[in-house]
Structure 1
């Protein structure tokens, strides 16, 4: 056998060996995703959201000037946690809960008396930082983040391994009456 044929046979063997008969299940790759402890979700979310609000930016075609920081709200966090838990438990991804309710009802049920209310949701992220960064990069979600009408926020993450996205992250923004 010539040197060229030996080389080609060796290269073919290496390539065929790389084609494992047990292909990687791409859906299982996100099984390593987890939700950080709630204190880190709070710290990381608040830091990143307030950094974003501190500078002017475009959210799609709309420009927002820098605005005031938001404060953390336990009531909005409760609304966010309940929605993240609902999405994880029932394996869905929507602003509409499994009971048909939206963020306005969730916030009210959590005891938040709101004048303005909004919600961002994200799924399938391995960290809070990634989820927040993705939401800032999405025009509609960015608008919620940058809107000066919102003075408070809460956020939460829930994880369930046997679901489509594994991690479900919710941000709830509000302004009290």
Structure 2
């Protein structure tokens, strides 16, 4: 009988010794603190977009009328890219604008630097007012330029940030804001 107890404890010990998941955003970059605690809904939305993007990349695509893209490897979520994407989506939601920057200094490259991204920043795509991950990616794939970005073989990692606007005075232009930053490690 004593041996049975030992055998039962071993699986419990192994299950408890797994490493915790990596943080969503860099824990050592103060600029990312504002977007470190995201709701389960927002995180799930981001991960659903990643899944949709990777499905499209795995299948290959035709961008525009006749630009064929072969299947390319899946993207992995990078914490610094995700921080930059979340910060931008949050800014658009809070300040009710839809653009790659709100000022000349607010650029995708500047956000990647502030987030501590050490790879090569490639592209940024946006979505506003689209309520599901599937429709966000469908919209990107329906635009020749954005489809090319999604299907870029140069991209190896991604950061996706989703924020929902909560208006106090007036109605925002969009309720849902998404930023996707692509990079190469």
TM-score of the superposed pair, with normalisation by structure 1: 0.73
The residue aligned with 1:109 is 114
SS in 2 for 1:45: helix
**Residue 113 (structure 1) shift:** 1.6
Preserved contact between residue 108 and residue 114 of structure 1 (Cα < 8 Å): no
**Structure 1 residue runs without a partner (length 5+):** 1-34
**Cα RMSD between the aligned structures?**
1.8
**Residue 109 (structure 1) shift:** 1.0
The residue aligned with 2:46 is 42
Preserved contact between residue 103 and residue 117 of structure 1 (Cα < 8 Å): no
**Residue 36 (structure 1) shift:** 7.0
1:76 aligned to 2:85?
no
Structure 1: how far apart are the matches of 2:163 and 2:60?
31
4+ residue runs over 6 A deviation: none
Preserved contact between residue 85 and residue 181 of structure 2 (Cα < 8 Å): yes
Preserved contact between residue 85 and residue 158 of structure 1 (Cα < 8 Å): yes
Structure 2: how far apart are the matches of 1:85 and 1:121?
12
**Structure 2 residue runs without a partner (length 5+):** 1-38
Structure 2: how far apart are the matches of 1:123 and 1:134?
10
Preserved contact between residue 83 and residue 97 of structure 1 (Cα < 8 Å): no
Structure 2: how far apart are the matches of 1:62 and 1:150?
18
> Which of 82, 87, 92 is the equivalent residue of 2:92?
87
Preserved contact between residue 75 and residue 112 of structure 1 (Cα < 8 Å): yes
The residue aligned with 2:150 is 145
**Residue 98 (structure 1) shift:** 4.0
- CA deviation vs aligned residue, 1:14-72 (integer Å, no higher than 9, x gap): xxxxxxxxxxxxxxxxxxxxx97233123211211111001221111422111111111
Q: Which moved more, 1:45-54 or 1:57-66?
A: 57-66
1:136 aligned to 2:141?
yes
**Residue 125 (structure 1) shift:** 1.1
Q: How many residues align?
A: 142
TM-score of the superposed pair, with normalisation by structure 2: 0.70
SS in 2 for 1:39: helix
